[in-house]
Chains A and B, each alone.
Chain A
Amino acid sequence: MSNSVVIAILSGLAMGVVFGFALEKSRVFEPGVIVGQMQLRNFIMLKIFLTAVATGALVLAMLNGFGFVKLQPKAVLYAADLVGGLLLGAGIALAGACPGTTLAQIGVGYRDALFTLAGGLAGAVAFSYAQPWLDKALIGTGPKLIFTDLAGIPYWQGAIALSAAITLVLILMEKLRSWRKDLGSDFDGSTVEADRPLKHRAIPAE
């Protein structure tokens, strides 16, 4: 193996460990948090997601703005992005995980996540067999379009504007509902008791 591949593997492992720590400490890997997000009653996932997007946009505004890196946007494939995104979302709701957090669930010992992983590998292989046909029928090709190109402004300006807008949204979201309320008593995103104060009050005191 060449040196660059060895460096890639070692840096991937190190970055993955940091990623895994962030996913576990923030509890976003919990099925209760992810299902809760899709049921619109737990907002930890959206808060982490938006924070990571805003941070990534600021970082890339600098790295790309000063010419250190090229952007790597994916091609816009309207039908494939829509159909694939819908299927992916359905899978995330039923798995209580996404492809990355499945591995975090395995790390902490959730046994059902091994089945999510096996199903994911099977899904990837099934797609591989179908890819030559799907590519013609649905996926196709498209331009690597980014919004700032449409607006005719440099990427760094749009990226900073996005970060600022996300920051405002997050401040508002946090005011409406603190992240601590979404943690759950066992840090698993399950806030059943907190959701039903009236029912508890209806039970007569003994």
Chain B
Amino acid sequence: MPTLFDKAWSPYVAGVLIGLLQIPAFLLIETALGASSSYVTVGDAIANLIDPSLSRIDYVAKHLAANAKNLWQVALVTGIAIGAFMSMKLSGARRQTISPIWSRVLGSSSPSLRYGVAFFAGFLMLFGARIADGCTSGHGLSGMAQLSVGSTLAVAAMFAGGIITASLLLRRI
């Protein structure tokens, strides 16, 4: 029986738990699980302080509206950080400040190289997710479960992009 003190659960237990989260998402918020829109809500809220003309773009105004869907998703991703922190504390699976795999994957143990790659990767990830209108959660978990044609294409492209990039740029670990 999995407990909160375990260092690892079976992927099947975790997958069922994540899939069941669709119930409150659909019943309470009338939306599917997703994560990447929250980056627009938070990023644009910050950028709008510097450039108030940003909110004249309809897409931005839609994501900055203080409504249930937008704030629910910001709360969801905040909760992810809190949940992961609690889980790590309960099991004692403490981590180093950078995963040891990166020095092997990148061929360098320089933290500043890793930080630069991480920033660039985050940029690509969200720019791509917003073009496709969804990420691993919105297109992957939710779109595929709803048998969406577009989401299936986006997920196939996502895995293709990841596999090609890993084989071209990353060392095998």
- CA separation between A15 and B22, bound complex, in Å? 10
Shortest distance from the beta carbon of B132 to any chain A beta carbon, whole Å: 3
Write out the residue numbers on chain A whose beta carbons fall within 8 Å of the beta carbon of B75: 8-13, 16
- CA separation between A131 and B97, bound complex, in Å? 35
B66 touches A127 (CB 8 A): no
Q: Interface size (A, Cβ < 8 Å)?
A: 138
Residue B1 interfacial (CB < 8 Å)? no
Write out the residue numbers on chain A whose beta carbons fall within 8 Å of the beta carbon of B40: 124-125, 127-128
Task: Count chain A CB atoms within 10 A of each CB in B6, B142, B149, B164 and give the residue with the most.
Answer: B149
Residue on A nearest B18 in the bound complex, by CB:
A52
User: Which label, helix, strand, loop or mixed, suits the secondary structure of the A interface?
Assistant: helix
Contact of A121 among B12, B42, B102 (CB under 8 A): B42
Interface residues of chain B, those whose CB is within 8 Å of chain A, are 2, 4, 6-33, 35-36, 39-40, 42-44, 46-47, 54, 57-60, 63, 66-69, 71-88, 91, 93-95, 97-102, 104-105, 111, 114-167, 169-170, 172-173
6 closest Cβ contacts across the A-B interface? A16-B79, A20-B83, A55-B19, A51-B15, A89-B161, A84-B132
- In the assembled complex, 14 residue pairs joining A and B whose CB atoms fall closer than 8 Å, in A order, are A8-B68, A12-B78, A15-B25, A74-B143, A75-B150, A81-B153, A89-B164, A91-B121, A92-B136, A103-B77, A123-B123, A124-B40, A128-B44, A129-B54
